[in-house]
Structure 1
């Protein structure tokens, strides 16, 4: 095989990986997200993959109970990402009742310990690393929560792995929404989570 043929073969393989990656984010994952089961939903949850993409991720919008929930999901061949933005709300009555101090770092601790302990604790058990950071977007503060998992290197080649990870992300998303509603968290539908 000539060097040119090898380069052409590699270019075709990379293009095929990108198509599979995009298909996971635009078809497989939204199909799993549509099966999210919430009391606020009347039947299947409408899922929209927002137009446009960045390097390897997409924003998905779930419409539940008259509210839009925005999540950013990314797939870098076999590294999976889920990013959520939670507005810092130091006036949230449940937060104020649970914490003596009312600073942004206390808000993160409350989210981690009281609101999303099971959501992200379960994710950590199967291999996600979960990170929490206060950020500013358009003059407003948010807690950026991003979960990252390393999948098997042949993830895109194996349908059972794609289904597993899509359903796992859907379960994490369902748990996130349920716990956010219970904690009376408010979200700005105009702000989409994204890598920071």
Structure 2
């Protein structure tokens, strides 16, 4: 079958089946009871010959009932795909934990050697649902010594967007910014990123938005290996963006919070 004929897989078969906590404990309890019963019956079978005829049918019935109950639990409560609520929880965890941890490993030797950056997720004011920016993303502030920048990362199930704002003087600077970051985003294109450069004026501040988007072939939120790959890839791209900006004396710290324009 050609790749173009394959159906998209939002969550692949490698993910662990999701069961409610009580159902998992029930299955464990049943299997534990079954194992204990088998042990007891084995001892009785070996050392109490007068009970052999009684033990064997009882053991068979217990095994059948326990096995059937376990199957029913899996059929009723196992999910081929994670629930929408569970996906939202995993989105939060991806942004609040996995990505934050990977960004914290960034090094900027041109700013300060043998140090990693400090990273904070920007929490918005009360009244903003979720206290994050633009539906499925979050803002981050990265700093080291006198260097400081902000960025926005969003994950929509299997599409990832990363946005950086650069301070400029005029609309004509778009081409200059594109040329400076040519090799930075050229490397990202090899894993599927597409980057756009767009000028905007926000509250009197002139900025160029650098927006990189990638569509993952496999589901991200239900796949730990995919999550690790993408958070590390975002961190590596961000490190390259920060180093390039520092070398070229560009500011990635704007009054406007980075995000979709």
- TM-score range (shorter-chain normalised) is 0.7 to 0.9
- Contiguous gaps of at least 5 residues in structure 1: 1-5, 90-102
Over 6 Å off, 4+ runs:
none
Residues 150 and 31 of structure 1: CA distance in aligned 2, closer, same or farther (over 3 Å)? same
Larger Rg: 2
List aligned pairs for 1:79-118, cutoff 5 A. 79-89=159-169, 104-105=171-172, 107-113=173-179, 115-118=180-183
**Of the candidates 247, 258, 261, which is equivalent to residue 182 of structure 1?**
247
The partner residue of 2:150 within 63, 70, 86 is: 70
Secondary structure of the structure 2 residue equivalent to 1:155: coil
**Higher relative contact order (Cα pairs below 8 Å, separated by 6+ residues):** 1
Instruction: For residue 84 of structure 1, give the secondary structure of its aligned residue in structure 2.
Output: strand
Aligned residues: 173
Partner of 2:121: 49
CA contact under 8 A between 1:68 and 1:189: conserved in structure 2? no
Determine the C-alpha separation between the residues in 1 that align with 2:160 and 2:260.
13
Write the deviation string for residues 15-49 of structure 1: whole angstroms up to 9, x where unpaired. 10011111111111111101111112452311101
Q: Following TM superposition, by how much is the alpha carbon of 1:74 offset from its aligned partner in structure 2, in angstroms?
A: 0.3
Whole-Å Cα distance in 2 between the matches of residues 180 and 67 of structure 1? 10
Structure with the higher strand share, 1 or 2: 1
**What TM-score do you get using the length of structure 2 for normalisation?**
0.62
Task: Report the alpha carbon displacement of residue 126 of structure 1 after superposing the two structures with TM.
Answer: 1.0
Mean Cα displacement is larger for which, 68-77 or 186-195?
186-195
Q: Provide TM-score, normalisation by structure 1.
A: 0.82
Ranges in structure 2 where 5+ consecutive residues have no aligned partner: 1-75, 124-130
- Whether the 8 Å CA contact 2:161–2:214 is kept in 1: the answer is yes
